[in-house]
Amino acid sequence: MSVLTVPLSDGMSGKITQFVKDGVASSKADFARKAMDWYAEELAIQTVLKAQREVREGKVLYGDLDVLAETV
């Protein structure tokens, strides 16, 4: 396990402390881990939503990959 030290503004530190007090996380470190997990999940969701939009817009290619590659 590694340790990461990150300077935070007083405002950011205060928000994290409040999240811990509110029971969102058990500690500041736990909050940071949960925030990173949430961010990774959010990126995955955005990727799926983008793919869905592209399908609706007809941007998805269908067919034989070798044939499609020749048309590019």
> Could you state, in order of their start, the residue ranges of all structural domains in the chain?
10-71
CA 29/CA 2 separation, integer angstroms = 12
Q: What is the pLDDT of residues 7-37, one digit of tens each?
A: 999 999 999 999 999 999 999 999 999 999 9
The pLDDT value recorded for residue 45 is 93
Give the whole-angstrom CA distance, residue 40 versus residue 56. Answer: 25
> Mean per-residue pLDDT for 47-62?
85
The predicted model gives 48-66 an average pLDDT of: 83
Rounded (10°) angle between helices 28-56 and 10-21: 100
Confidence of residue 69 (pLDDT cuts 50, 70, 90): confident
What letter represents residue 19's amino acid? F
